[in-house]
Structure formats: C-alpha cells, structure tokens
C-alpha cells in the first residue's frame, strides 16, 4: 500500500503586517483536521516557502506537528536548490516528528538527470525519513524523467512522487516501472480526478485550502467506487481548480481563504495580492462549489 493517499492540502502561511499570523495558522491547521483532510503539507510553495526565513520555516513545521497531534500525516516541505540546506531542513523535520518530507527538484541550478539522482540520494543517505519527491517543471525548469524516478525509488527512503507535469500518461507508465506501493500524488488540482483514474493515489492540493471537506469527499468517493458522488464533487470543484490559478498561486487561494474569515489575503513580495478580476473569478468559483463567505468581516475571525 502507498504511504499516503487522498486529499492533502498544501497549507497557506497566513501573514499580518509582514509577520506570520500564528492565531490564524493554528485555526487553519485544526480546521483541516476537523474537515477530514487526509494529510497536510506545511512550507510548500503554497505556503510561500521561498520567502520564509529558516527560523520561520522550522517554527511552522513544529507548530503544525504540535497541533495535528498525529491525527493525520504531516509532510513537511524541506526542499531547496541547495542539497546541503535541504538535508539540514529534512533533518529538522525528522527531529520535529514529521511523517515525511516533500522535496522539490532543485530550481535555477538546472541539474542533469544524474544530478537529480545524486541530489536525492544524498538526502536519502543522510536522513532516515520518508521522502516524497516533487517534480514541477513549470516552476523549476527541469523535468525529472520516469527513468530517474524509478532509479531513485529503489532507495530505502524514497517513497513517492508529487507530479505536477500535467502529463497523465506518466502515471501508468511509472506504475509499471515501480509498482503500486510507490506513492503517486498529483500536484495539479485540475487533473487530480484524471490522475486517480490513471492509478494515482491522491493530490497535494491548493484548492483543499478552501474546500477541504469537498476535496476529501471526492477522493473517498473514488475509493468506494461511488462514481456519481465522485462526479458531483469533481464538478463542484472544477472552477476552483481552474480559477485559483488565474494569477500566480498562492495569491488567489489566499484571497479565497480570507473570504472565510480565517486570515488576510496578504502575500510576501515579490508576489502581490490577487487583482480585482482574479478576486471576481475566485468568488464565482467559490459560489459554484457552494462555499459561502463568512458572515463576519473577511479578516475578523481570528484578528
């Protein structure tokens, strides 16, 4: 059986006046557990990991683990374009009690396939923590090929892949190479239903930040082969899967969560808040999914 499956939100990092809004963060983590999410990822791209300080990054991982209390898996984002830094952050995640580490392919450096293998092998050899590799060519330029993934899957701590290539044909092809126990998670909400149909196990999700229960239900319907329920949830979520990416994420999803009253929609430079047109698209997608704004002011719930 794969190590992880289902709807796993890559949680946002709420900010207020440039600092982490810890009250909002605590409430969001607890809400995701209560809403039935099957795991949680702190310090991913959706959590604006590139602009977090090392101390903030470590504090977020520790805080998530403390709030979750082992009720769902915590997959800590620990990747960077420095192998040494990635090892350091992964060692911290293990010490803090994370269930696994999500490690992105090194961005900007543009390593070869042999370089990618050497990067992940070095982490595998240094830290005895399950590793979910993260292949996202759209942000990192490089594409880790299935052959490299299969080679790495033979290592003891490489347990899965978050795939954001948008190429659904790769799921079955990789499954033939590594078997069904190797965890395959989608990194693209729009193709997550098709990813499941091709043999994938779940999704590390952006839209689950604002629709955790509905996202979890879609995956559970798939497991039970309730295809009518699956199709209903998929249809309700489809506009969110599209329009939460109408501008650079996580600006739109932060606006979406702010409408629920948890936090502000503040992002850190060089990102800026969602534009008026993006907010309108997000509001329409939320309405389509049956998600209503908070009755109180959008930033008052945990002020």
The residues carrying an active-site annotation are 134, 162
DSSP string over 95-127: HHT-SEEEEEPPTTT---HHHHHHHHHHHHHH-
Please tell me the distance from the alpha carbon of residue 227 to that of residue 108, in angstroms, as a whole number.
42
- The number of beta carbons lying within 10 Å of the beta carbon of residue 157 is 19
With the C-alpha atoms ordered 275, 281, 284, 286, is the resulting torsion angle positive or negative? negative
Cα–Cα nearest to 245, from 212, 205, 278: 278
Give the chain's radius of gyration (CA, Å): 18
DSSP conformation class of 1: -
Residue entry with tokens 């993934």: 149
Cα–Cα nearest to 12, from 89, 64, 82, 72: 64
List all residues 6 or more positions away from 107 whose beta carbon is below 8 Å from its beta carbon. Answer: 81, 139, 140, 141, 142
């Amino acid at each position: 059986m794969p190590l992880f499956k289902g709807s796993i939100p890559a949680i946002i990092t709420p900010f207020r006046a440039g600092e982490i809004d810890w009250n909002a963060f605590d409430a969001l983590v607890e809400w995701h557990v209560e809403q039935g999410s099957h795991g949680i990822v702190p310090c991913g791209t959706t959590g604006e990991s590139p602009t977090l300080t090392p101390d903030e990054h470590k504090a977020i991982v520790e805080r998530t683990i403390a709030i979750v209390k082992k009720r769902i898996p915590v997959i800590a984002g620990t990747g960077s374009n420095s192998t040494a830094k990635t090892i350091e952050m992964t060692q911290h995640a293990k010490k803090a009690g994370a269930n696994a580490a999500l490690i992105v392919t090194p961005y900007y450096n543009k390593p070869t396939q042999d370089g990618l293998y050497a990067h992940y092998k070095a982490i595998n050899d240094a830290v005895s923590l399950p590793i979910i590799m993260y292949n996202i060519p759209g942000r990192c330029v490089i594409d880790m090929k299935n052959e490299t993934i299969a080679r790495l899957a033979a290592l003891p701590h490489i347990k899965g892949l978050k795939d954001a290539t948008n190429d659904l044909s790769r799921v079955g092809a990789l499954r033939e190479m590594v078997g069904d126990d190797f965890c395959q998670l989608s990194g693209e909400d729009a193709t997550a239903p098709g990813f499941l149909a091709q043999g994938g196990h779940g999704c590390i999700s952006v839209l689950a930040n604002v629709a955790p229960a509905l996202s979890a239900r879609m995956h559970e319907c798939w497991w039970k082969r309730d295809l009518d329920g699956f199709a209903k949830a998929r249809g309700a979520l489809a506009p969110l899967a599209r329009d939460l990416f109408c501008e650079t994420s996580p600006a739109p999803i932060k606006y979406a969560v702010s409408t629920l009253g948890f936090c502000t929609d503040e992002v850190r430079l060089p990102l800026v808040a969602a534009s008026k047109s993006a907010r309108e698209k997000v509001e329409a997608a939320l309405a389509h999914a049956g998600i209503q704004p908070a009755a109180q002011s959008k930033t008052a719930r945990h002020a």
